[in-house]
Structure 1
């Protein structure tokens, strides 16, 4: 399902909640993005609850400490306040049949379910819909991409599951990625930063990122490898 901007049917609205909180990072995938701003997604929870292959490829996953978790958004019961996200529009002239705005986006977010969800624009206070990377499943990944792709992207690193990390698994955020997301949220202002700290959870769905960073201050003082300084610089 595609979500088109109400004022321009040639544009698609993207909702970013992790690395896409950074406009610079967003432009690496969407160089023609417009109107970068903030919104709030109700009835979804932001969780470091899965592993993603890109952290292994870039050498920033730590399997010994299980610091290899990435962010997703998962649906929660109606009435939940949700969290603050980045909102922007991209051209959808090359939109694929399933509503994904580009092949680059699909490949970048291969483990997610790409869906359209309601959000509230914090600039205009209007409600609309945008594209969100929601929690997926191993079964959906295998159906979409096949076992050989899973083996190449995950199994070769010793990872046997993307999504099946339970609340006691000990999965922790990838430190380089967490630092990048936190810095990106901070640059977007106090409201966005506080949302990231207090409305983002570990895999246990209880511990907030504010608490985690207080207990692990080294995350914010450890810079990424030089070759990733721009991509993960906030």
Structure 2
């Protein structure tokens, strides 16, 4: 078994089971020294027709190293290590393909939410860079996944770029966090940042309340409803 640390849609056990139906011991923890950021576009949002490039509402979540930061509340659960990690702790090709744009770290420290002294390590999807993506997958793959949609960078969005969360995905994660109780929900609102690394999600939603009214297409209701 391997331990997964979830920071967005995986905050919900129901949503997590859609990806990992055999998960065990679902619980909450805290990842210190990392920051949760809506800082990069996800290709799947374009493929599923829920990205809005005109308004820059195209971004997904990742975690980025931030030494000394209090971190954020995450989900913690175990899954069978079928095709995810090799024996030496390196992500398998199948796992990399599933989370293709991320830097997958296998030994990120977390603390139990109910027992802060109880620590462990798990797998966390963290920020990467365009050069790593291109060296791993090639320019043709980048064109297929991003370029054809008018996106010329994954991880190069500057703090003043105006990049915004994909509204359907934001609502999905918002509902997932809310379903896990006040501690998890407050962390999601107050310990999640926009691309500027200054605006917290609570303030963004207060200024743009209609983002929570954006519904997924009918065929995606089950997948994007928290």
Change (3 A) 1:213 1:100: same
What is the CA–CA distance in structure 2 between the aligned matches of 1:185 and 1:118, rounded to whole Å? 21
Change (3 A) 1:68 1:95: closer
CA apart distance, 1:24:
2.1
Q: Of 9, 12, 16, which aligns to 1:22?
A: 12
Alignment of 1:178-189 (within 5 A): 178-189=170-181
What is the CA–CA distance in structure 1 between the aligned matches of 2:110 and 2:66, rounded to whole Å? 14
CA deviations 1:56-109 (Å, max 9, x no partner) are 0000000110000111100012x2110000100001143443533782x43331
Question: Which structure 2 segments of 5+ residues have no match?
Answer: none
Contact 1:51 1:68 in 2 (8 A): yes
Give me the CA root mean square deviation: 1.4
CA apart distance, 1:43:
0.4
Q: Of 53, 72, 75, which aligns to 1:86?
A: 75
Aligned to 1:127: 119
What is the CA–CA distance in structure 2 between the aligned matches of 1:82 and 1:95, rounded to whole Å? 25
Change (3 A) 1:66 1:95: closer
Counterpart of 2:202 in 1: which secondary structure? helix
Scaled by the length of structure 1, what TM-score is found? 0.91
Scaled by the length of structure 2, what TM-score is found? 0.94
The reply to whether residue 165 of structure 1 matches residue 157 of structure 2 is yes
Question: Which structure 1 segments of 5+ residues have no match?
Answer: 1-10
CA apart distance, 1:124:
3.7
Aligned to 2:38: 48
Aligned to 1:194: 186
How many residue pairs match? The answer is 222
CA apart distance, 1:154:
0.4
What is the CA–CA distance in structure 1 between the aligned matches of 2:179 and 2:74, rounded to whole Å? 13
CA deviations 1:22-54 (Å, max 9, x no partner) are 222222221111111100000000000001100
What is the CA–CA distance in structure 2 between the aligned matches of 1:101 and 1:158, rounded to whole Å? 30
Counterpart of 1:38 in 2: which secondary structure? strand
Aligned to 2:58: 68
What is the CA–CA distance in structure 1 between the aligned matches of 2:92 and 2:82, rounded to whole Å? 8
